[in-house]
Structure 1
Amino acid sequence: MTRPIGYYVHHHGDGHRQRALAIARALGGGITLLGTGLVGRTEGIDAIGLPDDRIALNFGGDDRTGETLNERPSALHYAPFDHDGVRRRTAAIAGWIAEARPRLFVVDVSVEVAMLARLCSVPTVYVRLSGVRDDRPHADAFASASALLAPFHAALEDPSTRPEIVAKTFHAPGIIRSALAGTVDESLILVVLGRGGGTADGERWAEAARAAPHYRWEVLGPCSVPAEPPPNLRLRGWVDNAEEAIAGAGLVVGAAGDGLVSAVLAHRRPFLCLPEKRPFDEQCSKVRRLAALGAAVVVWTWPTPTEWPALVAYAVAQRREGWPAALATPDGPGRVVDWLASLPLVAALGRQSAL
């Protein structure tokens, strides 16, 4: 019996889960997903639900809150004192590793989980996101990993990334995608708001729709209902076929989360991007490269009503000028599975019996 692969899925945003599912499907079995909020959301793929480690549901990630003293080691991002969820999830991960003896643990993403898996004597592959991640916790996680996986094109690499980190990285664009074909509705502007955040103020999108009345505006994701929605605005909420909607849109508007950017690039849609503030300059770093390659029009501050028509026209015209060859999107999940199998230590451990 082949020893399994473990895959940790972070619970902020939905791109981590989507990547994990795509890779698991391509692998065809022998993988277990571990994460908070996974139960019932893994399409039948083996999964272990982990206790929540957040201090509060609206927690922003900083464990040094209020006047509470937390002498967090400089090698960690998140280590709150006396948190039962942290204790129980750590025990659950370590317990699964002890029982399953995985040949590999993929971490998407958490410095603490990566170091825990490594301390449990498991080779790790760390999913390295966009941005400037040159702090000590990331440096230690990168160094301890057998290899690094970047779910974006090498052309989108931040110029400040150290050469040895790039050399250790396998770039795998197009992990989150499906083969879709259909008609593009040039009159449709699709606004995509994700679980990781987004401008969910319906009044703002009503204002934008009024400013460009010759287009139909549809908003996917959580969004408040405006007091007087214009007739060309439709709030669709959560949908199961978001990628199909993206593939058929005349223009996509949204932030720079990995899932949305991957879908936009996969289907080569015009993209008007309003990046959001994220740790380690993640979205801003990504969109600067997208803009430099001609794959997005970036808006750094919320547009005024008079600015919307020109921005829409500019984004559509940019796409019609051609698609950057550097951003061709191959079969992401399949390439990842082949690459994982080729890692020497992973291949060697995979030949050992789980008994």
Structure 2
Amino acid sequence: MRQRIGWYVHHHGRGHLTRLLAIAPHLDADIECFSSLEAPADLPAHCRWTHLPRDDDHDGGDPRLGDPTVGGMLHWAPLGHRGHRDRLALVAGSLAATPVDAFVVDVSAEVTVLVRLLGVPTVAVTQPGRRDDRPHRLAFDAATTIVAPWAEDLLEPEHLRAHRRKVVYTGGISRFDGRPPSSQHDGSVLLLGGAGGTTVTDREIDLAARATGRRWRVLGGDSWTPDPWDALARAEIVVAWAGQNSVADLAAAQARAIVIPQTRPFGEQEETAGILRREGLATVSDAWPTAEEWPEVMESTRSLHPDWSRWGIRGAAVRAANAISETAVRR
């Protein structure tokens, strides 16, 4: 019988959705997706989308005033918030009406616990950063399988060692795995910004372009494109944040990159950037360089010869799909 998989997609940025779209084609299963994001135009045919209400709007009052952490036990469960109640009810109602063999949570401690309470094998996707707080520990304890989308030899966080037997390190998951990197670069600089937010301004980008004397192209944020591969492959230098999908895409393109970590919960991007710096895979700047600093940063990056194979992207989406399918089989 064909497997049925549930999948929760967090609405912050585009990274969680991008990860679904990278893994789903490798799953021989019917997938029921749940998210506050709108369904993407390129959703695979074997996926169905349930749109969830937001749990952080101010309809009825500020949810931050409703003890959302339950005294530190959870990350977000505001008292009296209709959107929060309705989104969890939609997930629970769907699982009661149409059971699934396993449920992927990317990411939410609360959804992980809810699904496990309903007796469903749960695959929790984790991210770098310090995640040893009570809600994360609860989610990792509840999960049947934990998917860590990076190479184990580069990072094995202390908080995952206690769960070593159920952690699957897949390597970095890129939607571009298998596409040939370009051997011809056009001398341009690509700023590959994500959709999760940044403090870098248009003026700072303009000053950087002038200081380097190169043609810059900006993708991300208001200039979002669903497939930046051509620009990524052609650019001589790529400037990017340190999100998991961005770094995996840099690895797929074998890019010479300048990585600037952005502020994210639990220090996710700072830890990822630290690995890149330690392994010599990219030039890492803790903050956006000044106009005076950009020429030197650019020149040092041009001399890099990064061994991006260490990021483990080859076959990573398949390994993630196998971990999900095997969790469903063990049920």
| TM-score of the pair, normalised by structure 1 | 0.85
RMSD of aligned C-alpha atoms? 2.2
The 3 A distance-change label for structure 1 pair 143 and 72 is same
Post-superposition shift, 1:184? 3.5
1:97 is paired with a residue of what secondary structure? Answer: helix
- 2:147 partner amino acid: L
How many residues are aligned here?
325
Residue by residue over 1:13-34, the C-alpha shift from the partner in whole angstroms, topping out at 9 and shown as x without a partner, is 1111111122211114411111
- Counterpart in 2 of 1:341? 325
For structure 1, the residue ranges without an aligned partner over 5 or more in a row are: 224-236, 350-355
1:64 is paired with a residue of what secondary structure? Answer: helix
- 2:234 partner amino acid: G
Residue identity (%)? 34
- Counterpart in 1 of 2:82? 84
Residue by residue over 1:132-190, the C-alpha shift from the partner in whole angstroms, topping out at 9 and shown as x without a partner, is 10001100110111110011222342554452234431112242222323453251110
User: Equivalents in 2 of 1:101, 1:120: separation in Å?
Assistant: 10
Max radius of gyration: which structure?
1
Alignment match of 2:283 (pick from 280, 284, 297):
297
**Contact 2:34–2:50 (8 Å) recurs in 1:** yes
The 3 A distance-change label for structure 1 pair 219 and 199 is farther
User: Equivalents in 1 of 2:110, 2:145: separation in Å?
Assistant: 17
User: Equivalents in 2 of 1:170, 1:164: separation in Å?
Assistant: 13
- Counterpart in 2 of 1:46? 48
The 3 A distance-change label for structure 1 pair 134 and 256 is same
- Counterpart in 1 of 2:179? 180
- Counterpart in 2 of 1:323? 307
User: Equivalents in 1 of 2:127, 2:114: separation in Å?
Assistant: 20
User: Equivalents in 2 of 1:88, 1:254: separation in Å?
Assistant: 36
**Contact 2:250–2:257 (8 Å) recurs in 1:** yes
- Counterpart in 2 of 1:262? 248
**Contact 1:5–1:30 (8 Å) recurs in 2:** yes
The 3 A distance-change label for structure 1 pair 39 and 342 is closer
| TM-score of the pair, normalised by structure 2 | 0.91
1:185 is paired with a residue of what secondary structure? Answer: coil
User: Equivalents in 2 of 1:79, 1:38: separation in Å?
Assistant: 22
Please say which of residues 133-142 and 301-310 is displaced more in the overlay. 301-310
- 2:84 partner amino acid: V
- Counterpart in 2 of 1:221? 220
Matches within 5 A, 1:187-266: 187-213=187-213, 215-222=214-221, 237-266=223-252
Matches within 5 A, 1:30-109: 30-41=30-41, 42-44=43-45, 45-56=47-58, 64-65=64-65, 72-109=70-107
1:87 is paired with a residue of what secondary structure? Answer: helix
- 1:25 partner amino acid: P
User: Equivalents in 1 of 2:228, 2:268: separation in Å?
Assistant: 23
User: Equivalents in 1 of 2:131, 2:300: separation in Å?
Assistant: 32
The 3 A distance-change label for structure 1 pair 71 and 336 is closer
For structure 2, the residue ranges without an aligned partner over 5 or more in a row are: none
